[in-house]
Amino acid sequence: MCHTGEMNTARTESSPITGARARAHAEVRREILAAASRQLAVNGAQALSVRAVARELGMVSSAVYRYFPSRDDLLTALIVAAYDELGEVTEQAVAESRSAPPLDRWVAAAEAIRGWSIEHPHDYALLYGSPVPGYAAPLDTVDPGTRATRALLSIVRDAANGGTLEAAANTRPQALSPAAHSTGEVIRVELGVDIDDEVIVASVLAWTQLFGLLSFELFGQTKGLVEDHPAFFRDCATAMGVNIGLRGRDA
């Protein structure tokens, strides 16, 4: 921030204003990530290879180690980037639909998530597919991992605050086990939203349903059933929202 002085701070980043070298470094880093992401599409996360990435960029494999200390760090960076992209897209859909009825907002957010997932199926697999054996996601990935979920839940919270939330039809209080209530508590604390247990359980159900549907579609379990049927997806998303108790325009 300051041109002169400051002898005792930030010795590690002694660059001029924003450091030409640092900028170049950041750009190559981005290029490596982009190439790695393209690799994912072809070979899957498990087969992500430092050498292949380097080859695609016309570098020598050892050069990549200037940017990522190991293959696993590269993988982590990819995961964080993907979570952030998905979170971004979801938050945007939620924000843009601010003035719409809750049910429409839910459907819009669900469609945004589906849109991103279909555009980036390999990234989706990285986030929501089977875990990569031998790789343990570090803690850095936890926070970005909740962005999309937070955004979805904020729709429910807004509806509850606005008084436009019906009682969830299928999860009546007396039907819930103590475990469900403690789950509700966990979510209230971790995601910082203040909603009833019943609504939380209904939301969790809708959430799993949404990603279950997407996994089936993207991993090919529903050959010809859901693919290229955005209208059918819309029906499903609507039903999920109704289950939570979200109201549409007509209600």
When the beta carbons of 33 and 210 are compared against DNA, the nearer one is: 33
Burial label, 199 (beta-carbon count in 10 A; 0-12, 13-18, 19+)? buried
Instruction: Identify whether the C-beta of residue 202 lies closer than 8 Å to the C-beta of residue 170.
Output: yes
Distance of CA 92 to the CA centre of its chain: 13
Report how far residue 197's alpha carbon sits from residue 237's, in angstroms, rounded to the nearest whole number: 21
Contact between 14 and DNA per CB under 7 A: yes
Number of residues that bind its own copies (CB under 8 A): 57
30 near DNA, judged by CB under 7 A: no
In the bound state with DNA, the residue whose beta carbon lies nearer, of 29 and 188, is 29
Write down the least CB distance from residue 102 to DNA, Å: 46
- HSE-up of 135 (CA within 13 Å, CB side)? 20
Determine the Cα–Cα distance for residues 113 and 91; give it in Å rounded to an integer.
10
**Of the candidate residues 20, 167, 186, 251, the single one contacting DNA (CB under 7 A):** 20
110-169 residues in contact with its own copies (CB under 8 A) are 125, 128-134, 145, 169
x/- site string to DNA, residues 57 to 96, per CB under 7 A?
Answer: -xxxxxx-xxx--xxx------------------------
Candidates 149, 27, 134, 133; CA nearest to 86 is 149
What lies within 8 Å, CB to CB, of 227 at 6+ separation is 217
CB of 80 to its own copies, least distance (A): 16
Positions touching its own copies (CB under 8 A) are: 42-47, 125, 128-134, 145, 169-171, 175-180, 183, 186-187, 201-202, 204-205, 208-213, 215-216, 219-221, 224-226, 229-232, 234-236, 238-240, 242-243
